[in-house]
Amino acid sequence: MKKILVINSGSSSIKFQLIKMPGEIVVASGLVEAIGLDNAALHYKSKKMNFFEIMPIENHEVGLKKVAALLLDEEKGAIKSIEDIDAIGHRVVHGGKDFSDTIVIDAEVKKTIKRLFSLAPLHNPHNYTGIEVAEEVFPGTTQIAAFDTAFHQTLPEKAYRYAIPNKLLDENYIRVYGFHGTSHKYVAEKAKDFISKKKSKLITVHLGNGCSITAVKNGKSVDHSMGFAPVNGLVMGTRSGDIDQAIIFYMVNTLGYSLDEVSEVLHKKSGMLGLTGYSDLRIIEEKAAEGNRECQLALEMNAYRIKKYIGAYAAVLNGVDAIVFTAGVGENSSVLRKLICDDMSYLGIELEDYKNNVRSSENRIISKETSKVLVLVIPTQEELEIAKDTYRLIN
């Protein structure tokens, strides 16, 4: 059995799991959330104990060092020494044209990940920090990178190309890369348990602080809402999703924004935050229930955008067997799932309200028995998917 530590450094959080492979036994797990705020939270769970503490966590480096200290702690920890870790698997968002599969990290891989910062500014820098800190805390341990873009390498050319001059693809590699691939791949595989036929047409909906939707045909990604960088597509926590590109020219040429300021707005000040002042959907739902019109409208806009993509991908797939909701918001927000699925009977989508309102960590059906399209909630396990790939490389 190999012990693999999986580190998933997101835009404002760090998820981690210590997993024994190939048995898929989780020895320890946890979450650092709300990084950068005074009320950041550290969750930790092992066979020995559960641990939770509210504390200021300035940045990802501080958070990762606290995680390492917990794993090695004599009382709370799950390992006796750093030698107990056989490999560390890192989630890396953008692999560009360079990486189509999981890979052992060396100096050249790190250099490329760093070069891709501009394509995923909310993620790749934090992913890179995770690698750097892990190398410092666990020297000599094999480090593995698993890329969110890898699952979407199966996109057909008609889907991944933009209608721009050919040389921008041929010379500059500007194309759709796609993201959240580890999550979409995992839930698409799990959805097979609910579908009797061998061939399947799925629409997987990953809703968290970052959001994306994928058309999956027979286990392969064939279309995806994010593109060259993870800012377009659905409405997200702080990212705009789809906008008319002419707005960028208007902001620069007429309103006087610099390009860096436009990037800051679209990546960090837009989405649900820009619409409501909040990026946490739990708070937005609470405010909406209290009658806050801005929050109500933001939820409606969020759901409306997802509906449009579901319709488009049903056309791309020529039908759909199941819609799968996953990730923090997709798994837990019955409000948003209902807004999305309401008035979709033309496509054969019928939500069962009492099933939708049940909170559960189980893979489950939330559609009516009469629904022609299954509606599923499947909690994503990106860390387990990364552990599988990591084990494959070191074994």
- As a whole number, mean pLDDT of residues 301-320 equals 98
Q: Is 76 assigned to a binding site? A: no
Tell me how far CA of residue 169 lies from CA of 23, 131, 223, 283, 296, in angstroms.
Answer: 42, 30, 18, 41, 40
Report residue 198's pLDDT band, with 50, 70 and 90 as the boundaries. Answer: confident
pLDDT value of position 26: 94
pLDDT value of position 119: 82
Q: What's the pLDDT tens digit per position in 318-364?
A: 999 999 999 999 999 999 999 999 999 999 999 999 999 999 999 99
Q: Is the pLDDT of residue 10 over 80?
A: no
Which residue is associated with the tokens 């009797």?
A: 196
Q: Is 39 assigned to a binding site? A: no
Q: Is 207 assigned to a binding site? A: yes
pLDDT value of position 38: 87
Q: Is 15 assigned to a binding site? A: yes
- Contact yes or no for 319/310 (Cβ under 8 A): no
Q: What's the pLDDT tens digit per position in 209-243?
A: 999 999 999 999 999 999 998 899 999 999 999 99
Q: Is 292 assigned to a binding site? A: no
pLDDT value of position 120: 82
Tell me how far CA of residue 19 lies from CA of 6, 131, 146, 337, 387, in angstroms.
Answer: 8, 18, 16, 31, 7
- Of 86, 148, 321, 389, which is the active-site residue? 148
Q: What's the pLDDT tens digit per position in 129-182?
A: 889 988 988 889 999 999 999 999 999 999 999 999 999 999 988 999 999 999
Q: What's the pLDDT tens digit per position in 146-158?
A: 999 999 999 999 9
Give SS3 for 83: helix
pLDDT value of position 325: 98
Q: Is the pLDDT of residue 100 over 90?
A: no
Q: Is the pLDDT of residue 79 over 80?
A: yes
Q: Is 233 assigned to a binding site? A: no
Q: Is 152 assigned to a binding site? A: no
- Contact yes or no for 71/79 (Cβ under 8 A): yes
Q: pTM value? A: 0.87
Q: Is the pLDDT of residue 118 over 90?
A: no
Question: Quick one: residue 41, left, alpha or beta (phi over 0 = left, psi -120 to 50 = alpha)?
Answer: beta
CA distance 140 to 94: 25
Q: What domains does the chain contain, in order, with CATH numbers?
A: 2-147 (3.30.420.40), 181-377 (3.30.420.40)
Q: Is 280 assigned to a binding site? A: yes
Q: Among 11-25, 110-124, 127-141, 340-354, which range has the highest average pLDDT? A: 340-354
Q: Is the pLDDT of residue 16 over 80?
A: yes
pLDDT value of position 105: 96
Tell me, yes or no, if 170 is annotated catalytic: no
Task: Give percent of the chain above pLDDT 70.
Answer: 100
> Rounded to 5 degrees, what angle do the CA atoms 43, 44, 47 make?
150
Q: Is the pLDDT of residue 395 over 90?
A: no
CA distance 21 to 18: 10
Q: Is the pLDDT of residue 122 over 80?
A: no
CA distance 286 to 259: 35
